Chain A
Amino acid sequence: MISSAVDPRELDRQRRRVFLALFAALAVALHTVEALLPSPAPWFRLGFANILTLVTLFLFGGRAAWAVALTRIGVGSLLLGNLFAPGFFLSLSGGVAATALMTGAKAVAGRHIGPVGVSALGAAGHASGQLLVAWLLLVRTPALWGLYPYFLLFSLGAGIANGIAADLLLDALRDHPAFAGRLEREGR
């Protein structure tokens, strides 16, 4: 593409579109790589892929965040070969609950909430959604809820770390021409 011959607004749109595709692809890659990490139980995931959903939410808004989250879960489980297996439904329910909470929080709180708060909420949503579906589909026993506090605590720690990582990434992207002026700038 010869940029000089193109309408600058069109160029901006294309740039942002490329970034969105890049975020979705990175989220899929992180989702897949993370599945290779050893974990004591299937629900102890670090959720690195959520960093990309967070960054998308802050740079593009709620709809794009949903697109990245659902693309990651769909394509990620295709790559891992567990599409429609029990693990897929756990992943899907956690992802949907997390994205709903994150986009909701951003819509309600707007500028007052940062990536760390959104990420912590998302992590709690992920933990709750996953355990709920695990209880509904896999093990119908109230004893499963005994795991909930540990699960929540762990995901909260991971969520805070991911939020900080997302904030670092936002800082790095903030001055890129594709996003210049799109982010609210507030004094920290």
Chain B
Amino acid sequence: MHPAMAQIRFEEIAKKAGLDFRLKNSASGRFHQVELMPGGVAALDFDNDGCMDLFFTNGATIPELRKSGPEFWNRLYRNNCDGTFTDVTARAGVGGEGYSMAVATADFDNDGLCDIFVAGVNRNILYRNLGGGRFADVTAKAGLSGIDPERGKMWSISAGWLDYDNDGWLDLFVSNYVRWDPATEPACGTPQSRFYCHPKEYPGLPNQLFHNNRDGTFTDVSESSGIARHIGKGMGVAFADFDGDGFTDVFVANDSVRHFLFRNQGDGTFREIGLEAGVALREDGAAIAGMGVDFRDFDNDGRPDLVVSGMINDGFLLFRNLGKRSLFEDFAQRSGLEMSTRPFTGWSLGMYDFDNDGWRDLFFALSHFPALERYIGRSAALANRVFRNIGGRRFEDVSAGAGADFQLPALHHGTAFADFDNDGRIDAVVTTLDGPVKLFHNITTGAGHWLAVRLRGTRSNRQGLGAVVSVTLPDGRALYGHATTSVGYASSSEPLVRFGLGPNTGVKQVEVRWPGGRTQKLTDVKGDRILEIGEAKP
């Protein structure tokens, strides 16, 4: 496919769209570690009207960690399908409690309604979607409060839904960061010049995996699955079947310690192989301050690759899946991403085809830590960056041409990706620390044709998360994707599997490999639409 010449462009329309959410982190000059980290956001269609809605997590008072008023509520906005959103938090009953960090959305009980899991410092919450715009807090019944018998409530920073045992029910993975207590917050820097402590000042934590018992309850299988054997400082989490064995694997970006790649062994256990796979550390053996992650195929070879954001001077990581011996190669230098991203600190991110030319591009939400100004001589606020994928070989920073709104710096953190106006071009919602949300409406002109696949599992989980979809273009080339909502940092994106088709108005074939390996094919499919595929009964 010839790369299109379309310039990726966005306009920022949050205010116009009625999105008045402000993320409040309660920073008060005391340099509490938690205030650096919030900002998870989700794109979900909670009312099944075909328009993606939004859920925002929010902070709380420090040190009490309480949502003392509406300014700290998590917020749910319904997409009115006309370019505007309405705040429906109060009616939905999802304002929440505690200092929230992350959100993971999926239909965990296969009732056709998308549910919401909120992960936080002192509270995790599972909201079951009751329909009619209402939710119920079912955390206690579900057994998902996240309280560890030994460690108590761990600081959860990201979460995601996956069906690790292919039983047709979504399980929950929770990434935990560090042991933290406001009462014993260490003081770092000099007395005259305090600063946020390095993560090395805090002990790490294990992650958690909860198995769905198919009755509204979950069993903590963190120990028996092998997940809890590995102590890290978990940040973003992403899922993909990277070795094509039919079982979903897990990648966890860790902050300043090596990353984890949990290979699903298909028997309810995982083996951590980040080192052997070459994705645990940067190529020179340095651990970066890993934050956001996406686990998708950037070079259209059918194998999910990894992109991980980090801190200034880390250089963001790009690992190319070689498809043999579970091995990845460091591709950041060769693709141009390493040098291009070294000046930045990246939080959430996403690998999406913003110009629909058939190659997935990269979007990074950027900002340095607040108070870093004196160390780097410039503002901590940064403009986001978008890198265009040039034929799966290199990434080119095209941010300068992405529109005036895109150049505005802020303390960007979380991202949710979805096509909010159903025009076929993927949009991005970005939260900002102690600031207003931004909705980057994709207005790329000359973008290619597209196809979005919405899966409807019957034997598999209802949303088909974990299913691998490939499309064959008229010239015989194939594009690959898989259904996941776990993208970036602390955030959740639409579950649709999207393909940019370039100049092609349709595809010769769509093939779905459902979790468990059953395949289903459709031929001669027209593009520029959302194609709903229901899982065929065996």
Answer yes or no: are A and B bound together in one complex.
no
Q: Which residues of A contact B (CB under 8 A)?
A: none
